[in-house]
Structure 1
Amino acid sequence: MKQSIKQFILSTCTVTLMGSAHFASADINGDTETLLNWAENTYRDLFPSHQVTQNIDPWIYRFYPETGIYAGVNRGDNSAYVLGGPYGSTPTRIAGLEELIAQIINSGGNTSIPGCDTSDAPPGMTYTQSGNVVNISTGGACVTLPNSNNFCSTPQQPTATGISALTTSTTNSSSINGISMPDTPGIPNPFQSFANGFSTSKHCTVHIPADTANLIINSNVCFDITAQSSGFEGIPGIIVTPPVTMSLNTTSTNVVVPDCFATDAASIYNAVTGEFWINNDGIFEPQGSNQ
C-alpha cells in the first residue's frame, strides 16, 4: 500500500526520477528556489503564479492562493512536500531535494523566473528570485558560454507598458583560468580585460513589465571558454592549459528612464515589437527584430 501511494503521488505531480544521477546539494535555500521555480513553470495547473518564498522553521515554502496548495522543503529531512488543495491537510512527501534537483538539471528543466527570458541560458545556469532581487548561479560548475552577456533579458511582452528601464551591469570580480601571458610582465592581460568587459555594459529596454522595472540581478557564474580560446594555442608568449574558464561575479540594476534613446546605453530592445538598436557613436542604428 505504501508503495502504491508513493507511485500515485509521483504520477500526480508528474515527477519522474531518471537514472542514477548524482548531485551534491550544498545550498538548501538555493536548491529550494530552483525546485519551486521549476514547479511553477512545469505544473501551472497546480502552481499558477510566481509566489515569494517564505520561511517558518523547519519549512521553506511558497503558498499558491489560487489552488490552496503549499509547496516547499523541510530542512529536517531535506525533502520536498505538498499540502492543501487536492493533497489534503497532511504534508505529503514527494521525494528528496537532491533527487529532484538532479532530475531537473539532467533533463534541462526550466528553472526560470517571470522577470528573465532564459530561453538561451545554458544548461546548469539557475535563476532564483526574492522580491526584486534575482540571483543567477552555475552552482560552482563551469557551463557553456551563452550567446549573450545579458543573463536576464526581458521576456517578449504582449502589450505596451510605456515603461523604459536602463540596465547597468558592473563586474564585482572576474578571472580567467587556463590561459596566461607569463613572459609579458607589466603588460595588461587582454584576456582579463575581456572578462571584465564581457559583463560590464548598459542596455535599455522599452516596454519593460512594471514588476521587473526595478530588478537587481546578481550573477555568480563560471563559463567554459576552452573552445573559444583554441585559436591562441601555439602563439608565442601565450600559454593555454585547458580547460579555460571564465568566472564572473556581477551586479545589474534596472532604473526607470523617460526615454531609452536619450541614454548612453550600448543597445536598446523593444520588448513588444522585438526591435533592436545598437549605439554607434551616439546614434542608435536599427538592427531589425528578433521575432
Structure 2
Amino acid sequence: MKKSIKQFILSTCTVILMSNANFLAAGVTTDTEKLLNWAENTYPDFFPNHQVTQSIEPWLYRFYPDTGIYAGVNKNDNSVYVLGGPYGTVPTRIAGLSELIAGIIDTGGSSSIPACDTADAPDGMSFSQSGNVVNVTTGGTCIPLPTNNNFCSTPRQSTPTGISVITSTTVISAPINGISIDIPGIPNPFQSATEAFANSKHCTIHVPANDANLIINTNVCFDITSALSGITSVPGVIITPPVTFALNSTTTSQVVSDCFATDASTIYNAVTNERSNRPSVAMRLKETRCGET
C-alpha cells in the first residue's frame, strides 16, 4: 500500500509540474482579475506594480501604495469603483463589471504577438501585449491539458543577439480543485508542487533586446481530470470531477551573462531552436518533495 501511495504522489506531481497552469473561480472573481490586470498594464501611472487581489465583503480589490489608489468590484451591484489619490475619499463608480470586460477581453484568441511564439499554444488560450507586459489567459474557462507548456516562448531568431535572460515565476495562487488526500502522515503533494513551481526558472539565449525586460502575467486553467483517471481507486484519494489545476502568476526577466552558470531548470537557444533540461536546484527540490512519504 505504501508503494502505491508513493507512486500516486510521484505521478500526480509530474502532471502538476508540467502544467504551468491556473484556475480562478468563475463569474465576478475571474472578471475582476482580468479587469485589474488589464488596468495595471494599461494605466501603470495610476496602478503601478502588480498587487494581489484582496477580499473584504462585498469587495474584491487591489491597493496601490505608490499612488494611494484602491480599485475593485462591489459584488452587491457588480460595479467597478476607485478610491484614493486623484479619485478622492469617496468610492467613485466607473461602470458595470460586465460592461468593462466586454470592452477589453476581445484579444482574438491565440493570435500572434511580438514577444511570444504562440504557434503551438493550445486552443482556448489568448494572448495580449502592452509594451513589455504580456497577458496569457484562458478567459476563466478550464481548457484540456495541453501536450506542451509553450505559453510564451521567445520567437525564433535569425541572428544571435548575445543577450541571455533568466525568468523567475512568482505564484499568486495555484489552487487544485476536485481532488484531496485523506491519508494521515502523508504530506500534501499538491501544496509541495505549488511551492516548487514558484521556484522554477528558465533561461533563454539570444533574446531580442525588446524582450529583455518582459513581464508575463499568466491567468489560466486546465482540466486535468483525464490525466488522473488511473488513480481513482487509490485508497485515501478522493476525486470529484472535474479536477482543475490553475495558476495566477507573474514571470519576470533578468539579463544574465551565461545561462549555463545559472540554476535554470531549462535552457533554450532562440537561434538554434535547441532546448535542454537539466536538474537544477529547483528541480532537485521538486523531486525530493514529490517523493516524500
What is the rounded CA distance, in whole Å, between the counterparts of 1:26 and 1:150 in structure 2? 24
* Displacement of 1:115: 0.6
> What is the one-letter code of the residue matched to 1:278?
N
In the other structure, the counterpart of 2:250 is 251
In the other structure, the counterpart of 2:132 is 132
Greater RCO between the two (CA within 8 Å, min separation 6)?
2
Task: Say whether residues 1:117 and 2:117 are aligned partners.
Answer: yes
Q: Output aligned runs, 1:76-115, within 5 Å.
A: 101=106, 104=108, 109-115=109-115
Length-normalised TM-score, structure 2: 0.58
What is the rounded CA distance, in whole Å, between the counterparts of 1:186 and 1:250 in structure 2? 30
What is the rounded CA distance, in whole Å, between the counterparts of 1:223 and 1:195 in structure 2? 15
Q: Contact 2:201 / 2:266 at 8 angstroms: preserved in 1?
A: yes
> What is the one-letter code of the residue matched to 1:168?
S
Higher-helix-fraction structure: 2
In the other structure, the counterpart of 2:65 is none
* Displacement of 1:200: 4.2
* Displacement of 1:97: 6.4
Cα RMSD of the aligned pairs, angstroms, is 3.6
| Uncovered stretches (5+) of structure 2, i.e. residues with no partner | 1-29, 44-94, 282-293
Length-normalised TM-score, structure 1: 0.58
| Uncovered stretches (5+) of structure 1, i.e. residues with no partner | 1-24, 34-51, 55-74, 79-95, 283-291
What stretches of structure 1 move > 4 A for 4+ residues in a row? none
Report the number of matched residues.
Answer: 199
Relative to structure 1, the CA distance from residue 159 to residue 268 in structure 2 (aligned partners, 3 Å threshold; closer, same or farther) is same
In the other structure, the counterpart of 1:287 is none
Give deviations 1:156-212, integer Å, cap 9, x for gaps: 111111111011123221111111113x25642113333444564111100011101
* Displacement of 1:242: 0.9
Q: Contact 1:202 / 1:265 at 8 angstroms: preserved in 2?
A: yes
Relative to structure 1, the CA distance from residue 144 to residue 236 in structure 2 (aligned partners, 3 Å threshold; closer, same or farther) is same
What is the rounded CA distance, in whole Å, between the counterparts of 2:245 and 2:140 in structure 1? 12
Larger radius of gyration: 1
Which stretch has the larger CA shift, 252-261 or 150-159? 150-159
* Displacement of 1:277: 2.0
Percent identity of paired positions between Structure 1 and Structure 2: 57
What is the rounded CA distance, in whole Å, between the counterparts of 1:118 and 1:144 in structure 2? 17
Relative to structure 1, the CA distance from residue 190 to residue 164 in structure 2 (aligned partners, 3 Å threshold; closer, same or farther) is same
SS of match in other structure, 1:239: strand
Q: Contact 1:195 / 1:248 at 8 angstroms: preserved in 2?
A: no
